[in-house]
Each structure stands twice: as C-alpha cells, then as structure tokens.
Structure 1
Amino acid sequence: MERDRYDEAEGRPRAEDLLFIARRDEKKSNEGTLTVYLGYSAGVGKTYSMLEDALQRKREGKDVVIGYIETHNRPETNALVDNFEVIPAVSVKYQNLILREIDLDAVIRRHPQIVLVDELAHTNAPGSRHVKRYQDVEELLQAGISVYTTVNIQHIESQNDAVAQITGIRVSETVPDTFFSDADEVRLIDITPEELNIRLKAGKVYVKDMAEAAVQRFFRTGNLLALRQLALRYMAEYTDKRMIDYMRTRAIQGPWPAAERLLACIRPGPTAEHMVRAASRLAARFDADFIVFSVDVGGNRALSSQERTWLNQALETGRRLGGRIVRYRGSDIAEEIIRYARRSNVSMIMLGKPHGLDIFSSPVYRVIRQSHGIDVHLYEPKGSSAHISLKRQIPLYFTAEYVISIILITAVAGVNFLLREVIGPSNLLIIQLFPVIVSAFFFRRRVALFTAFVSILAFDFLFVHPYYTISVHDWEYFIAFIGYVAIALIISSLATRLRHLLPQIWQSEVEVEATSGLSRGLVEAKTRQEVFETLADQMHNFAPGIFSVLVPGPSGLQIGAGDALYPFDDKEKAIALWAYKNGQPAGHGTDNLPAGKGYYIPLKTQRTVFGIMAFIFDKPDEALIPENKEIFETMAFLGALALERL
C-alpha cells in the first residue's frame, strides 16, 4: 500500500498498471485493430460512415477491401462501394434459400491492411466455420488484419433485455460485451429521431424481415429516444473506461475508488439469463468484477431438463460477459450466499425479487437481514411474462414426494390397524415412525415435517383413546409426538447434508486434482512428453469418454499422448487444426466449428500454442457445463506454462 502511494505521489505508474500495459501491447502487437461503428437503430448511417472513413484511409495509401457489405440498394451507398475492391461472398444453400456469407479464407489469403465487415451481430449459415460473424472478425484480427464493422445497440448482449422492454421486440442475435471491451475504437453514429423518421418515410431505411406494423411500433419517437439514450450511455461508459485506463497507465492522480465486486445469485428459471445480463450492466456501471453464483439444492428436488438448460444458458452467458462462474451445493441457499460473499469480499449482492408463493419461502429476506455492510440489489424481471403464475408454482410445492409419503403413512396405518388388538400402543407408535424415517432420509425437510405431522394425526385418530377423534388425553403420547418432529428434523438435516456433501466432495476432489494435482505433475515433468502424458491422465477424471493431447508433427497434428483410439478423422483434424492455429476453443459445445464430435482446447500462453487437449465425452451435454469448461481452460493454461518453461 505504501509503495502504491509512493508511485502515485512520484508521478510514476504502479507496477500492476505497467504489467497491464505490457500484456495488452503484447496481445495487440500481432493483431489488427478493431473499429466499431455503433448506432441506436437501423438507418442512422453506420455503413455509410464506415465507407466514408475507409475511403479516406484508401486515399492515405492504405490497402482497403470489402469483405461483406449490405447496401440495401441505396444509391449513395452503392456509389461509395464502387471505390473498393470487393471480395465475393460465399453462397450457402440452406432450406431452399441462398445465404451470402463472408469468405473468410479468401480475405485471409488476400490479407489487406483493412477489411470492411458489415452487420457484426449476424448469425452465420449452418455449417459455417463460426456460429457468429463477430467470431469471423476475431479470426481476421488474429490474422493481423484490421477490421471496420457496424452494430446497433440492441445487439450488444448486456443491453438485450433493456431493448426488449423498450421496443417489445427481443433481438436473438447478440455480441458479447467483452468483444467491445477489446475494441481499439468505438464510434457512435448519431442522428436525431426526427431525422431518422424522415429517412424512414423517404424509403432510405431498410428494416430486414419486419412487418409494417412492427416497423411502425419500433420506430415510434419514444422508442427511438430511449434507444438513443441507451447508446449514448453505453458510449459514455466505454469512454469513461478508456479514460480511467489512460490515467492509471500515466500515473495521473485522481479519486480511485476501491474495487467493487458483485455477486449475482441466480436459480434455474426463464429469467436467469436476463438477470445475468442485468448484473453485467450493473457491474459495468460500478466498474466492478462480477460473479454468477448458483446454489444447487438438487438433493431436494431434481432439476428438470428445462431447468438445467435455463441454468447452463445463464452460466454460459455469464462467461461470455466476462463474469466468473461459481456453483455450490448446499441445503441452505441464504447461508451459502452469505458465507461465500463474506469469504470473497463481495461488496454487492444481486437477488431476484420474490413473487407469488416465493414470498413465504424465499431466502432473499434472510440474505438482506444477514448481509451487514453489503449492498443488496433486487432484480425485477421486465415484461408481463416475468411473474410465474400461482398455478405454475403450486406443483413445485406439492410434488410426488408428498404423494409417496401419504401412501407410506396409509400403508403403515393399515398394518397398525390389523395389529391394534395384538400389540400395545407403544409398539404401534414405533411402527408408525417408519414413514417419518423414510421421508426424512430420502426427501426434503419440509416433506419430512409434513410426514411427521400427518403421521401424528393418523396415529392419534386411529390408535389413541378416544378413537376417531383428534385429541390427546395421555401426556406420554404428546411427548412422543414432539419426539416425532425432533426425529424428523434431525434425520432430515443429517441426510440432506450427506446428500449435498458427497457430490460436493467428489466435485471438489476433481477440481483439486485438476489444479493442484496437475500442478505437481507438471512441476515434476522433465520433458514435453511427460507434460503431455500428465495432461492426458488428468483429462480422464471428469467423465467417461476418449481423450488425447494433440501435438504438431511433420504432417500436421497427431496424437501425442492419451487414448490411441481417438477418432481423429479428417473432419476432427480440421477442427483441431483451426483451434491450434487460432488459439481458441473449437468443436462441440463452442461457437467455433460446433458440428464436430470433439471439444478442443489449445495449450496456449501469450506467445505460443503448443498443442491441443481433445475431449470426446460419452455424454457431452452433461460434461461440457460452464464450470467444467473453466477447469479445462485452467488445465490447458497450466500445461502451456509448463511447456513454455521446458
């Protein structure tokens, strides 16, 4: 701390700021520059402005080509396009349609200084190398080609929900905010809503695939004003970050705020992904790190396939937006949230606002009461579909567990009824305890308490004098009934804790082995082959499948360690080779060449790619969850560091 103050007082950048500059410059040294033309709506002039600037660069002697452009047959735009070399687009046939896509290989072979790529948020045709066009742009940048591109505010991932609330139209094509944070320049192209409506009426605005009614609704003056405000605010935040970086790297004194950390607590549901985007916007506003946190209470009620999909989509969105993913298992959601927040120095917690039956059981109020010194933000989903109706929530509270418990109580009561004249009431009471024990051991705590209560009533009604009435004249029975509840609570707590601890211990062992165990093996490795074999051994710890480490050889990538029977056909070779050349994950479960069977992670440091970790899981959808992907990337980075050392 004293050293930091000394550096600022002396007018010198701090060591960590110099390290940040060095890493950024190293990353940018071999990459092209990215210029983004941002607008708040179609028709504001992004493509035209991009072409004008590109024409100026051409006059200055730069080699500029067009990789993909949409002129929408506007005469003035077509006139500008005529000044440039255009690399023909690739035609892809899909469902009786001919789709035009950028010819990525042709642009890389041509290797101009600057390439223009319109409509950044576009989704590529099925079978393309990348799912999204912004990933094409990333590959061009890595090839050392500078890119000019265009995008509207509604296509920025973190702004998606706000735009849907304003316009009533949800945009499905989005670009992660992390893409824009690496941009060298973002230029806001802005005209007034009045000017835009004049252009619309004059037929100068092309709105693809939108009906007349939708056009009129989208281009209402109120909508345009709100979208324009979003774009201006986003541009202000971007400029503010650039200014802070500039001041820090030059040791310009200023009021530096303490680092903020936001914990976004989500649960499986249709609004989980929306909440993650809202957390990203809030984190950007406070210049905070943000963590997407989920507590798995699956031991109480198994997640449905739809709930797993909602949760994994939300976690994956958090990864794309630059957040850290943390997933815990526990029986007490509020307790886990508070414990993690305290241990991780969290300054803000975001929770979903409870509605309907959630009001009676939500952990939100406990978190608010116990989060002393931590700001709590309640997220309210936008739109009429945000609230889950009472009818849809009831099945979550009255599940098959209750039905099974009632059947057990009825069966045991029937047995006791047959034995009522044979054995005494105390023995009948012990038999009546059986459904309570079973329910407490296998089901949720609330189900165990329900079973204990119903079992008490059934026993009192059938086997305690006076029969067929709800009354207790013998205090011994009353004490026994209290014991029922105590037994149900104790067994339920112990069983629930055991159900949660065992998977958590297993997962923790996997993570520890994948990091500390791998680290020990890599430190002891004396040759590159030993590093490859250590990685291959650790890759088998996650799930059943076939795993190999691929290394460069005279004829391309080849299996260097792991399973010799890895199905490395021409298609998988092409995907693995792309991941190797571009230093990015590819294959199944990614947006890069997702049609393959394998999941490929490059062994990469800042300077070099040494090889590829190749995974083919028997059940890839279960293994390739967001938290496992983070572990795989950590393993690959540790392996690459060991290879660089050797």
Structure 2
Amino acid sequence: MEDIRPSPEEFLARIKQEETKAGRLKIFLGYAAGVGKTYAMLDAAQEAKKLGLDVVVGYIEPHPRPETAALLEGLELIPTRKINYKGKTFEELDIDAVLERKPEIVLIDELAHTNVPTMRHVKRFGDVEELLAKGIHIYTTVNIQHIESLHDLVKEITGVKVRERIPDYLIDHAAQIKLVDIEPDDLIQRLKEGKIYPLKQVEKAIDYFFQKQNLVALREIALRRTADTIFHQKTRKNDSFETKIHVEEHVLVGISSSPTNAKVIRSAARLAQAFHGKFTALYVQKMDRNERNEASSERLQQHIKLTEQLGGHVVIVQEDDIAAALANYSQISGVTKLVLGRTSMKKKWWRSNSKISDRLNDFVPNLAIHIVPDQENEPLRFPEVRTQLKFEWMDMLKMLTVFSLASFISLSFFSIGVSESNIITIYILGVLVLATWTTGWMVSIISSLVSVLIFNFLFIEPRFSFEAYHRDYFITFLIMFLSGLITSSLTKKVKEQAIVAVRKSYRMEVLLETNRKFKY
C-alpha cells in the first residue's frame, strides 16, 4: 500500500503555520433558538479557564435562564458599548476594549447579528474577523438558518425569510465546529416552559417556526452541514487523501441580474458543497448591449458578490446565445453539473426549443442539468430599442452623398439603355455601403425607403413623379425595400461581430501576456 502520510518537513511546516497564523474560531452551531448554544459555549469557556487560559466575555445575549446565567460567574466581562441611534439605546460588542485587553479567548454570542450603522463593521462577523486577525481566539454561536447558502432552503421549510446571514466561508474555515443538538420534542417542551421566549410569544412560535416538522428538517440540515464541513476540512488538510477518494466535481451556475437569481446561486453552492467540488458562476454578457438599467446592474453586482462569498469563481464571457455559451464553457472546463433557474418564458412559435434547458440538452446531452424551481421569475420585458434606433445628422449627410453618387451612375447607365432591373442593384449597393459606413439601425431603415422613392422618381413612368402607372411596380418597390433592409441588417450584424471579435482578441492577448508575467 502506498504511504500517504505527510513527511516530517510537511509536519514542521504545518506547526509553524499554526504558530504564526491568526486566531482560531470555534463555532457552537444549532438548528434553532433554545437548543443550548450559549450554555455550551459558556461551559466550554469555564473548562478553558480551569486549564489556565485567559478567557473573557465580549458579548452575551441576555438570557432569562438561570442555569445559563450561572455559568457567567467567574468569567471576566468586558463592558458592552452603549450606542444611541434613532432615539434608542443599543448595546454592542466593544471591539476596541477587547483589542486593548487582548485575551487569549473571547466569547461573542450571535455571530449573525447586524451592528448599529454607526459601528465600523456592518455585521458582527466583521468584528470577529478583525479580532481573529489580531491573533485572538473566538468562541461564538450561530443557528443553521443564518448560513447564506441555506437561506432559500430554510425559507421553503419554515416560510420565514431570515435577513441576518453570514458567509459560508466562516463555517468552512472555522477551526472547530461543535453541533449543539437536542430532540425536537424536548425543544418544544422548553419553549412551552418559557425557557426560550416569553410565554406570550410561545403560542405564535409553535404555530409558525417551531412546528415539529420544521425542527426535524432543520435538525437534519444542521447534521448534514456539519458532516460536510468536517469532511471538507479533512480533505483540505490531506490533498493526497482527497484525490484518492473521488474525482472532483465541477458545478456551473448561470448568473444574471434577475431578482431571483440569488436563489439559483445558493442552490448551486449547496450542490458543490455536497459533492466537495469546484463552484463556478458564468455571466453571459450580450455583445450588442449592456445591462438594461441601474437597478439591474446593481443586482448583478450583488449576485457576483454573493457567488464570491459562497466560495465560487465568477467568469464573464461575451456571447449572444446564452445556451451556446454555457455549453461551450461546460465542455472546455470539465463541468459535471449545471444549475439553472426554471424560466417562466413560453416557447416561441418560430423556435421549437426556445428554453435554455432544451437547447442545452441538444448541445451537451451528457451534462447533468439541475433545474431550480422558481415561481417568482422576472416579468417579461421587451428589449430596449432606443439605443439601436439612434440617429445622427452626420449619417444623413453620408446618405445624401451615397445616393447622389448612385443616382448619377444610374442615370448614366439608363441613358445608354441599361434596364431598370440592373439599376435597382445600384441602389441596393448604396444601401449596403451606408450600412457599413454609418452607425445605428435608423439610417438603414430610412435608406431602404429613400432608395425606393428615388428609383420611382427618376426611372418609373411617369418619370420625375412619385406615381406609377403599372400595378406590378408595387411588388417591385416592396421587394426592393425588403432587399435593402435585409442586406443592411446583415451588414450591420457582421460589422458588430467584427468589432466584438477584435475585443475578444485583445482580451485574450492581455490574458496571455498576464499569464506569461506570472510564469516568469
């Protein structure tokens, strides 16, 4: 059997790393309020003090339970910071007092708490990270429903939208996680005895969050999340063990500015975590336009930030076809699972497989696709055409020049007996030239119409008027207009694709140059 134990040098490197790195975070994790997280944390603090460690209490949420309050005896309490905000007084962790005292271990309850806006960190876990960076060890508590990736899952189970959440990396990178567990029946009994909430709130709590089926489901999630974290930490410490037990999974999720895309991202993060694999989010940026409005751009940035908080890597590509972009990236990057949100768009009559999932099945039939139910999809919006139909007076001058030249050439050919059908192609050629020379679609539409009118005025009997005696000329004018419009549209498209190709080439050149600099 191959010996995969670390070498003495590796052991020494790990010991030195342990000595020089920041403080260690120990999390007491529960599946609901009242399971005994704070009690377990205080009990561990008393044990640490008996071992001669310097332990202080930074912040403990007030508890009516006498057995919990009794465990505070003998522990040094750092006074909380009282802050007046909007006419109310709040008590918060005094991080400066903790830094000045600099104990070995500090107890900080309620990791997911949102600080008063006047404090330097928005969330309490920001205070914890600062203290860890200063080499202070932290004991803290949190419930499973406050973990970011589990937000949607908890909401579906309990119907409660938890607003205070912490990034998953705090759980994944914690030095130790202690699951504080209790039977759901025992927890409900404690609730009825008034040991969790005041008696006047008990009945409402039992009817909503503290239903037995909810607690059983939350308990299962907490057990599974703790087991996944322990396994992830074990494999991260021993890379050779990780490579032998499984082939790494790669989960890809499509990212967008949709209001409900966050739910899809969290589902993909949980899937990647369950399989202990890579997590990537792909944003497909349309080549012909940017985000529709400021709100969409802001939501997109929030989703990118959420992906990074959940340990994902964000990739941005430029492509018109979203399904093709997802399929191409999946094949190139070895994606094993793709997560998409269920779209509310109906199939279009001119395209049999208009849904992204249907088209992905055609592109990559062997790729596992996970569809996240989403009943709150973004309402259908019509594409923004204002920027595409912009008009510039310089384009009008160019059109005047082109059609003047085209008319001069056509009259010359007409005088020597060239047929009208050949003269039509001269004006279509003028429309084609304008499509490559001008900007915006408005000129293409106007030029197609103007070419028909000029041809009618100069060459159709009676000449030098906009009348036409023969009824067949209506079909001629219509075909001429449509030919000019389609030709100019295709030329515009080719022009835009050429510009995008140049941008892609430049970006690739920059990436290759950056890669060379990193190597050397």
2:135 is aligned with 1:144:
yes
Superposed counterparts of 1:482-631, under 5 Å: 483-484=483-484, 487-488=487-488, 490-501=490-501, 504=504, 515=514
Residue in 2 aligned with 1:387? 377
Whichever residue aligns with residue 329 of structure 1, its letter is Q
Residue in 2 aligned with 1:567? none
8 A contact 2:432–2:484 mirrored in 1: no
Superposed counterparts of 1:228-627, under 5 Å: 228-245=219-236, 248=238, 256-297=245-286, 299-300=288-289, 302-357=291-346, 361-381=354-374, 384=375, 386-388=376-378, 392-393=379-380, 395-397=381-383, 399-400=385-386, 430=427, 472=475, 483-484=483-484, 487-488=487-488, 490-501=490-501, 504=504, 515=514
Q: Distance in 1 between matches of 2:262 and 2:90?
A: 30
Match 1:110 to one of 83, 90, 101: 101
Q: Distance in 2 between matches of 1:440 and 1:13?
A: 69
2:75 is aligned with 1:84:
yes
Q: Distance in 2 between matches of 1:317 and 1:126?
A: 21
Alignment deviations for residues 126-182 of structure 1 (CA, whole Å, 9 cap, x no partner)? 232322211221222222222110000111111011111222222122111111111
Q: Distance in 2 between matches of 1:403 and 1:211?
A: 62
Change (3 A) 1:276 1:195: same
Q: Distance in 2 between matches of 1:47 and 1:184?
A: 18
2:154 is aligned with 1:163:
yes
Q: Distance in 2 between matches of 1:223 and 1:448?
A: 62
Alignment deviations for residues 66-96 of structure 1 (CA, whole Å, 9 cap, x no partner)? 0110133322222211231101111222222
Match 1:66 to one of 34, 47, 57: 57
Secondary structure of the residue aligned to 2:371 is strand
Q: Distance in 2 between matches of 1:189 and 1:164?
A: 22
Identity %: 32
Change (3 A) 1:278 1:254: closer
Q: How many residue pairs get matched?
A: 479
8 A contact 1:272–1:314 mirrored in 2: yes
Q: Distance in 2 between matches of 1:279 and 1:442?
A: 41
Larger gyration radius, structure 1 or structure 2: 2
Change (3 A) 1:297 1:215: farther
Change (3 A) 1:363 1:170: same
Unaligned runs of 5+ in 1: 1-8, 524-646
TM-score of the pair, normalised by structure 2: 0.78
8 A contact 1:349–1:377 mirrored in 2: yes
Change (3 A) 1:484 1:98: same
Alignment root-mean-square deviation, CA: 4.3
Change (3 A) 1:358 1:510: farther
Q: Distance in 1 between matches of 2:204 and 2:440?
A: 52
Whichever residue aligns with residue 376 of structure 1, its letter is I
Alignment deviations for residues 269-328 of structure 1 (CA, whole Å, 9 cap, x no partner)? 112222221111010111111111101116246431111111111111111111111111
Secondary structure of the residue aligned to 1:149 is strand
Whichever residue aligns with residue 261 of structure 2, its letter is A
Residue in 2 aligned with 1:11? 3
The alpha-carbon deviation at position 267 of structure 1 amounts to: 1.7
Change (3 A) 1:158 1:267: same
Secondary structure of the residue aligned to 1:235 is helix
The alpha-carbon deviation at position 31 of structure 1 amounts to: 2.5
Secondary structure of the residue aligned to 1:106 is helix
8 A contact 1:354–1:364 mirrored in 2: no
Q: Distance in 2 between matches of 1:178 and 1:261?
A: 18
8 A contact 2:30–2:179 mirrored in 1: yes
Q: Distance in 1 between matches of 2:18 and 2:437?
A: 56
Secondary structure of the residue aligned to 2:196 is coil
8 A contact 2:281–2:307 mirrored in 1: yes
Match 1:184 to one of 156, 175, 180: 175
2:89 is aligned with 1:98:
yes
Change (3 A) 1:438 1:518: same
2:190 is aligned with 1:202:
no
Q: Distance in 2 between matches of 1:322 and 1:21?
A: 29
The alpha-carbon deviation at position 189 of structure 1 amounts to: 1.0
Q: Distance in 2 between matches of 1:401 and 1:264?
A: 30
Alignment deviations for residues 190-220 of structure 1 (CA, whole Å, 9 cap, x no partner)? 112222222222221139xx99756731222
Change (3 A) 1:13 1:370: farther
Q: Distance in 1 between matches of 2:388 and 2:478?
A: 25
Change (3 A) 1:89 1:504: farther
The alpha-carbon deviation at position 39 of structure 1 amounts to: 0.7
8 A contact 1:440–1:491 mirrored in 2: no
Alignment deviations for residues 19-42 of structure 1 (CA, whole Å, 9 cap, x no partner)? 799469616643322211111111
Q: Distance in 2 between matches of 1:293 and 1:518?
A: 26
Residue in 1 aligned with 2:124? 133
Change (3 A) 1:378 1:230: same
Secondary structure of the residue aligned to 2:106 is strand
Change (3 A) 1:343 1:60: same
Change (3 A) 1:494 1:80: same
8 A contact 1:43–1:204 mirrored in 2: yes
Change (3 A) 1:101 1:436: farther
8 A contact 2:41–2:139 mirrored in 1: yes
Secondary structure of the residue aligned to 1:282 is helix
